[in-house]
Structure 1
Amino acid sequence: MESSMTRAGLLARMAQQRADWESLLADIGPARMETPGVTDNWTFKDVVAHMTAWQQRGVARLQAARRGEAPSPAPWMHLPELNDDTINAWIYEQNRDRPLDAVLNDSRTVMAQLEAAVGELSDEELTEPARFPWLGDASLGEMLLGNSIDHFYDDHLPPLRAWLDQQ
């Protein structure tokens, strides 16, 4: 059992991610959060909304697993074409006109929900591959690492830091 996949390991990584996130928020500051060009034409607020939407999906999956159920379909399942680009465009459209404070509040709320959901699961529920048929051969911990924690560190933090360095 990989230590970062246990409940304690995941909670420690999530706490570190939250601290790194809050540090990034402080470094960017509210005045730059709605400046286009962070990622293509997206603002930092748009990136926050994007990450929050995917984390909300993770919360739904963790909570469903705790109940012993399959998760409800993601809110974008109605799209005619399901791929990362169309899903991310849909998330952008749903959030682009929302106030910055609301988007930031949702981000902090969903991070707390993720931590709470992980805290309610056992190591076995988090680490056992194929325990939940709707995850295929993956474990809940792998899903969480890939879709939330590693996604932030691998896909978002480096370009956000690079953008910030250019400001």
Structure 2
Amino acid sequence: MNKAELLKRLAENRDQLNVLLEGVPEEELIKPGAYGEWSVKDVLEHISRWESELIKVLYQAAQGAEPESEVFNPEYLKVNDVWFQESKDRPLERVMDDFQSARKQLIRRMTDFPEKQLTTPGVYPWMKKHALIVLLKDIALEHEEEHLEGLKTWRAALKS
């Protein structure tokens, strides 16, 4: 996958997610149970947090540093729990703003990042012979796709 393909798929996924949430009353977005025990708001916060970590990785990589980020933490389920506890009481409006702005910043950083630096395996020793784009695909694209599928089920249940 190259950068243009990844950016295109990220935009398509986000469009699907935005359409899915269109017209849903606020009380439904904050109600637990949309995705396991999480509300839609919690899912959006979760996606934003992981995308923010990718922004940090891209920034640090561009500076020539080995990134310090939760994306490399094998205990990511514990990270998810900590972040959930930290943010469960955040207002929906702030979560929605962060959800949009984290994606905009991620797209900007990806767009500015040289294609070769993203797609060439082994450029970054801390990526263990993988291209950096593999990390972006996993955490930004596939992660959102996973949650999108769960939210589609939630949305279908709202209509019945």
Structure 2 length-normalised TM: 0.90
| Shift, 1:27, TM fit | 5.1
Alignment-derived partner of residue 120 in structure 2: 128
Partner of 1:56: 52
Q: Is 1:43 aligned with 2:39?
A: yes
- 1:10-159 maps to which residues of 2 (within 5 A)? 10-26=6-22, 28-74=24-70, 83-153=75-145, 155-159=146-150
**1:28 aligned counterpart, secondary structure:** coil
Deviation (angstroms), 1:40: 2.1
Instruction: Tell me how large the CA RMSD over aligned residues is.
Output: 1.9
- Which consecutive unaligned segments of at least 5 residues does structure 2 have? none
Cα contact 2:57–2:69 (8 A) shared by 1: no
- Verify the 8 A CA contact 1:7 1:122 in the aligned structure 2: no
Task: Confirm or deny: 8 A CA contact 1:7 1:121 kept in the other structure.
Answer: no
Q: Provide Cα deviations, 1:92-120, integer angstroms capped at 9, x if missing partner.
A: 01110110000110010110011001111
Q: How many equivalent pairs are there?
A: 158
Structure 1 gaps, min length 5: none
Give the partner amino acid of 1:40.
Answer: G
2:156 is matched by which residue type in structure 1?
D
CA shift at 1:64, angstroms? 1.6
Q: CA 1:126–1:29 in 2, change beyond 3 Å: closer, same or farther?
A: farther
Tell me which amino acid in the other structure corresponds to 1:84.
Y
Q: Once superposed, which parts of structure 1, at least 4 consecutive aligned residues long, lie more than 4 Å away?
A: none
What is the Cα deviation at residue 160 of structure 1? 0.8
| Paired residue secondary structure (1:40) | coil
Distance 1:37 1:57, change over 3 A: same
Q: Percent identity?
A: 27
Once residues 147 and 125 of structure 2 are traced to their aligned partners in structure 1, the CA distance between those partners, rounded to angstroms, is 29
Q: Which residue in the other structure is 2:151 paired with?
A: 160
